[in-house]
């Protein structure tokens, strides 16, 4: 038996139009600057690409915002109908169209990667792109970096380095000022890691202070004292406890010869949580005796378990 609809064509059409209008009004199309959105490029034009981001209007990707690299092929870098992330760099205009960027997203991801690499203590491969009075400029993950002449292994014929790849460590990363300073010498110094052993008490001077820890110069080799290894109690601000060029004694807790990384700890020298904060000079003065006791206890424990 045929069942006829109780709604008239007029009612159906009216319902659909009203519903659609209400859906548009109720849907949140507020896109903000700095927001990462998913979208599909769907049409090229002379100045860029239109991108569907499921908004009232398509977003626009200017050709200048396609990549950190220059002279790229638009069709190769931004193929149509391939969904990907975009960063909104300009909020909606009068037509509801936002401007998006792949270059700024790459830039953000590059800085994040470099910060992670710095915190891990790893070196990074860079390509020399130019020379100036103070040293050489390098390409670092698409970013422009600088290696001072004093931090290069070969300092005489700098033009000969152009195009060469160097292994470098980080001296300074400052995203706000777009400043990236590296050192080839740091990597060579880190290769001295084989001179150190876990459990060894070392003495050095603080070369730099970062939010995640302090770097310690061990007579040419660089080690990291991570903020979590400073004390058994919570440390809020490392600058309250340490100053550049300050002498310090610490125990080696990790030596990674492959990565050229030396990790230190001072919390193992504490007799109670927070002692390093309350009585830093006293802990340093007794560091040799305390380290000796730690190693003796470790040896006794290993013998008992063996």
Tens digits of per-residue pLDDT, 277-298? 999 999 999 999 999 998 888 8
C-alpha to C-alpha distance for 88 and 70, rounded to whole angstroms: 21
Structure tokens at 200: 């060894």
Which phi and psi angles does 8 have, rounded to 5°? Answer: -80, 155
Tens digits of per-residue pLDDT, 136-174? 999 998 899 999 998 998 888 999 999 999 999 899 999
Structure tokens at 295: 């190693």
Pair 50, 21: CB distance under 8 Å: no
Which residue is listed with tokens 């380095």?
161
pTM equals 0.51
Which phi and psi angles does 281 have, rounded to 5°? Answer: -60, -40
Residue, of 5 and 68, whose pLDDT is higher:
68
Cβ neighbours of residue 270 under 8 Å, at least 6 residues apart?
Answer: 231, 232, 276, 283
| Best CA proximity match to 283, nearest among 265, 273, 269 | 269
Structure tokens at 169: 């460590």
Pair 67, 106: CB distance under 8 Å: yes
Cβ neighbours of residue 1 under 8 Å, at least 6 residues apart?
Answer: none
C-alpha to C-alpha distance for 249 and 152, rounded to whole angstroms: 29
Please give the domain boundaries of the chain with CATH numbers for all domains.
36-101 (2.40.50.140), 119-188 (2.40.50.140), 196-305 (2.40.50.140)
């Amino acid at each position: 038996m045929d069942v006829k609809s109780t709604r008239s064509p007029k009612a159906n059409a009216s319902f659909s139009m009203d519903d659609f209008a209400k859906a548009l009004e109720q849907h949140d199309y507020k896109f903000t600057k700095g927001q990462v959105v998913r979208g599909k490029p769907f049409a090229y034009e002379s100045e860029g690409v239109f991108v569907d981001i499921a908004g009232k209007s398509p977003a626009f990707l200017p050709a200048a915002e396609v990549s950190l690299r220059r002279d790229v092929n638009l069709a190769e870098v931004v193929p149509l109908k391939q969904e990907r992330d975009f960063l909104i760099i300009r909020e909606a205009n009068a037509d509801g169209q936002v401007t998006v960027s792949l270059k700024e997203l790459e830039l953000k991801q590059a800085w994040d990667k470099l910060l992670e690499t710095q915190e891990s203590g790893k070196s990074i491969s860079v390509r020399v792109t130019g020379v100036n009075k103070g040293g050489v400029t390098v390409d670092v993950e698409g970013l422009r970096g600088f290696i001072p002449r004093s931090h290069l292994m070969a300092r005489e014929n700098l033009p000969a380095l152009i195009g060469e790849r160097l292994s470098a460590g980080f001296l300074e990363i400052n995203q706000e000022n777009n400043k990236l300073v590296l050192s080839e010498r740091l990597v060579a110094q880190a290769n001295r890691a084989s001179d150190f052993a876990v459990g060894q008490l070392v003495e050095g001077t603080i070369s730099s202070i970062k939010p995640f820890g302090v770097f310690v110069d061990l007579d040419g080799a660089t080690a990291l004292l991570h903020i979590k290894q400073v004390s058994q109690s919570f440390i809020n601000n490392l600058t309250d406890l340490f100053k550049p060029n300050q002498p310090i004694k610490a125990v080696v807790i990790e030596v990674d010869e492959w990565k050229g990384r030396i990790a230190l700890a001072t919390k193992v020298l504490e007799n109670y949580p927070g002692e390093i904060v309350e009585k830093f000079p006293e802990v340093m003065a007794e560091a040799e005796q305390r380290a000796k006791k730690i190693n003796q206890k470790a040896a006794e424990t290993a013998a008992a378990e063996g």
